[in-house]
Amino acid sequence: MNGPGADAPGRHTENGMREDGTTEADSLRSLALEARDAAYAPYSEFRVGACLEAADGRCFVGCNVENASYAVTMCAERVALGAAVAAGARRFRRIFLCTDADVPVAPCGMCRQALAEFAPELEVVSESGSGGRASWALSGLLPERFVLRPVPGSGPGDSR
């Protein structure tokens, strides 16, 4: 796992709760909040933290990193995706986002396309600064994604 606390997944009971009374979503939320607090957003002051859960249970965090040249800015979702791919993860279940916004915010179009490369049916959960929560299927947020056929042996489902 990647990020503070990400190496303590905890054991689950029959109802999906962990022995400490938390759920997987609580753990993802906690990691996303820590990442949000580390965000570098001096221009917009719009901090975002993301926790991307791989199919094997590993979690990868990311935060937005702004730049004076706005096009160079990196979104939290793509930072988490890059960390996951660098660690060999290629299949994902869910991404949890935390922002300071008044309402839950969905990923931008660029992040939607990047995530859809690996997990078109990804569950996207977003929490606002006031605790409001929304969730979507990535395919609903990006119904007509751009698709190319990967060279055999190099696609998202292939492991190294």
Torsion of CA 13, 15, 18, 23, to 10 degrees: 160
77, 117, 123, 127: the active-site residue: 77
Tell me how crowded residue 132 is: count the other CB atoms within 10 A of its CB.
12
34 is catalytic: no
DSSP 52-115: EEETTS-EEEEE-B--SSGGG-B-HHHHHHHHHHHTT---EEEEEEEESSSS--PPPHHHHHHH
Give catalytic residues, as residue numbers. Answer: 77
